[in-house]
Amino acid sequence: NGCQASLPTKHMETPEMADLDWENLGFTLVDTDFMYMAKCGPDGNFSKGEMLPFGPIALSPSAGVLNYGQGLFEGLKAYRKTDGSILLFRPEENARRMVIGADRMCMPAPTVEQFMDAVKQTVLANKRWVPPTGKGSLYIRPLLIGSGAILGVAPAPEFTFVIYVSPVGNYFKEGLAPIKLIIEDNFHRAAPGGTGGVKTIGNYASVLKAQRTAKEKGYSDVLYLDAVHNKYLEEASASNIFVVKGNTISTPAIEGTILPGITRKSIIEVAESKGYKVEERPVSVDELLVADEVFCTGTAVVVSPVGSITYQGKRVDYEGNHGVGVVSQQLYASLTGLQMGLLEDRMGWTVQL
Ligand code: COI
């Protein structure tokens, strides 16, 4: 294939760093050089993938993903260390989560080995887009879609695994400043038995309306309650939620309706290693009223402190967060220190490229 053959030459010709304003990265797409693509028929075996120039992909208007939402995505990040080398954070976790999500969505998944290899290849081919240490990261977006044409409701006859990347900075426009959340009790993100626990694309389309209304009113994001009791915290549009009271940190348990975040899982371990008591259980909305601190976690949002939460017209402010709450700050520093290779990785979470 011509693209593969041209890859090394292109590398040699390209300058070490892309020409970008590294000081002002947000969470918006920056087109990079290459994307990875592999295909799979009904037999479930993916082709050997290839690197292609980043750009549009051809799909039948009748593709399963376009008509019935048969699609899944992942999100992970690559950081540049101060010595210039690149670190991935827990990529096998994303590979495993894709296998579980693909099963729920009736899709074959790439093996953990193929996923890892594809992620590494894509990052290395786009190395010049990994921001300098401290300026952001390279966001890696693996996609698994039902790309084959299908008319009746059924799994597509062909699947495509794509990975593209984009340099990113902070997810929220507030940067590292505390965000303002509003609790939504008319819309729900997911219901028991549904797909809330996997990273299917439709989970994100379904939150757009509530999110838009919230943003129009000046909120940063929406926090959802469970669909059965309308009482227990679920998650925000693209992140998990944690509530701090004294030395105890609570977060909704993974019971099928919320996404098992890799940052969520990492923060639980980091917090426990620092002596906090972490509880995974149903967390009621009333607990927010008496909390010391609240924060959100996710690959994209990292650890985002919450400054206020509005529920049924009443607003609770987290005073400690006018700066940034001490627990949020401590966990943010520990997590990003590991991700950027500034702290010793005793957990073996990072993969050096
Ligand atoms: C991530 O944190 O990687 C996510 O998947 C959130 C994304 C929807 C922006």
The SS3 of residue 338 is helix
- Of 163, 200, 299, the residue with max ligand 1 atoms within 8 A of its CB, to mutate for a pocket test, comes to 299
- Structural contact between residues 233 and 281, judged by C-beta atoms closer than 8 angstroms: no
Give distance in angstroms: CA of 9 to centre of ligand 1. 33
Closest CA relative to residue 110, chosen from 16, 47, 29: 47
Give distance in angstroms: CA of 301 to centre of ligand 1. 8
DSSP strands (E only) in the chain: 34-40, 50-53, 71-73, 76-80, 86-89, 137-146, 159-168, 179-184, 221-225, 233-236, 240-245, 248-251, 277-280, 293-298, 302-311, 314-317, 350-352
Q: Relative to the CA of 75, which ligand 1 atom is closest?
A: 3
Give distance in angstroms: CA of 298 to centre of ligand 1. 7
Nearest CA to ligand 1 atom 6: 238
Cβ < 6 Å from ligand 1: which residues? 75, 204, 238, 298-300
Q: What is the per-residue pLDDT for 13?
A: 54
Task: Please list the active-site residues.
Answer: 199
Q: What is the per-residue pLDDT for 185?
A: 81
Give distance in angstroms: CA of 75 to centre of ligand 1. 6
- Structural contact between residues 306 and 316, judged by C-beta atoms closer than 8 angstroms: no
Give distance in angstroms: CA of 13 to centre of ligand 1. 33
β-strands 179-184, 221-225 pairing:
parallel
Closest CA relative to residue 227, chosen from 259, 268, 184, 264: 184
213 - beta bridge partners? Answer: none
Give distance in angstroms: CA of 29 to centre of ligand 1. 13
Over residues 78-87, mean pLDDT: 95
Q: Which long-range contacts (CB under 8 A, 24 or more apart) does 321-326 make?
A: 321/178, 321/293, 322/178, 324/176, 324/177, 324/178, 325/178, 325/244, 325/292, 325/293, 325/295, 326/293
The SS3 of residue 205 is helix
- Structural contact between residues 289 and 316, judged by C-beta atoms closer than 8 angstroms: yes
Predicted structure pTM score? 0.94
Distance of alpha carbon 240 from alpha carbon 280, whole angstroms: 12
Sign of CA dihedral 286, 287, 290, 292: negative
Q: Relative to the CA of 298, which ligand 1 atom is closest?
A: 2
Q: Relative to the CA of 263, which ligand 1 atom is closest?
A: 2
β-strands 50-53, 277-280 pairing:
unpaired
pLDDT band with cut points at 50, 70 and 90 for residue 14: low
Nearest CA to ligand 1 atom 7: 238
- Of 204, 208, 258, 262, the residue with max ligand 1 atoms within 8 A of its CB, to mutate for a pocket test, comes to 204
- Structural contact between residues 135 and 12, judged by C-beta atoms closer than 8 angstroms: no
> pLDDT tens digits for 249-269?
999 999 999 999 999 999 999
SS3 content of the chain, % helix, strand, coil (to 5): 25, 30, 45
Over residues 102-131, mean pLDDT: 97
Over residues 236-254, mean pLDDT: 97
Backbone φ and ψ of 207, nearest 5°: -100, -5
Distance of alpha carbon 302 from alpha carbon 263, whole angstroms: 7
> What is the number of alpha carbons within 13 Å of residue 283 lying toward its C-beta?
28
Q: Relative to the CA of 237, which ligand 1 atom is closest?
A: 8
Q: What is the per-residue pLDDT for 177?
A: 83
Distance of alpha carbon 47 from alpha carbon 73, whole angstroms: 19
Closest CA relative to residue 266, chosen from 189, 188, 349, 192: 349
Over residues 153-175, mean pLDDT: 93
Nearest CA to ligand 1 atom 8: 238
Q: Relative to the CA of 299, which ligand 1 atom is closest?
A: 2
Residue 7 has pLDDT above 70, yes or no: no
> pLDDT tens digits for 274-321?
999 999 999 999 999 899 999 999 999 999 999 999 999 999 999 765
